[in-house]
Amino acid sequence: MAAPFPGGGGVAVMAGPLAPLDPPPSKTCLKSSAHKSPILIFLLFHKAILSELDGLHRAAMAFATSEGSAAGIQPLLEGYHFLRAIYKHHCKAEDEVIFPALDIRVKNVARTYSLEHEGESVLFDQLFELLNSDKQNEESYRRELASCTGAIQTSINHSQHMSKEEEQVFPLLIEKFSFEE
């Protein structure tokens, strides 16, 4: 998978061995079904999104603490456009296909996750408003940028949004739907 590299306009390529996708033993439903359900492709998407988000947050923190010019914002802008596009498609697939299908068989599960997606979309909107603002030369801009990227990371990663999907939604999908479905 290639992505805009926040540090210098190149391309970051995932290389080398990847950590196993099999979940910890406590997630027995997922573990026993890892090679049986196509829904588990979402584990790869989650892993890639979280990796990209972590790299961009580290780059935003470095930008916030550096004395460089505002021109250093361009790689971050490109990286966040890439991440937002990927995350938007991921959420759309869940919100328009996976969650409605699950909601037919298991009530009151899907809405919570869709609401989290909406909240994360608002955070991305705020980030892009800041990235495209005229404030780039103000002293507080870099701190605000790092804070905004941290809020996105907290919402998606640290609040365990994706982990909760893997622990709650994926096992339900595997249990309630056949491989063909």
Integer Cα distance of 85 and 60 in angstroms = 18
Question: Does residue 22 belong to any structural domain of this protein?
Answer: no
For the record, the structure tokens of 161 come out as: 């949004």
Q: What are the CA-CA distances from residue 157 to residues 1, 18, 46, 102 (Å)?
A: 20, 19, 10, 23
pTM over 0.85: no
Question: Is residue 157, in this structure, part of any structural domain at all?
Answer: yes
Rounded to whole angstroms, how far apart are CA atoms 102 and 97?
9
Would residue 21 count as lying in a domain?
no
State the residue range of the domain holding 94. 37-176
CATH number where 169 lies: 1.20.120.520
Between CA 128 and CA 7, with CA 88 as vertex, the angle to 5 degrees is 55
Task: Give me the pLDDT at residue 67, please.
Answer: 61
Per-residue pLDDT of the chain (181 residues; tens, 9 = 90+): 444 444 433 333 333 344 444 443 344 444 444 456 888 888 888 899 999 999 999 988 888 888 655 567 888 889 999 999 999 999 999 999 999 999 999 988 788 888 889 989 999 999 999 988 888 778 788 889 889 988 998 888 766 788 888 888 889 999 999 888 8
Q: Report the number of distinct structural domains present in the chain.
A: 1
* Residue 110 maps to a domain: yes
Is 16 among the domain residues? no
Residue 131 located in a structural domain? yes
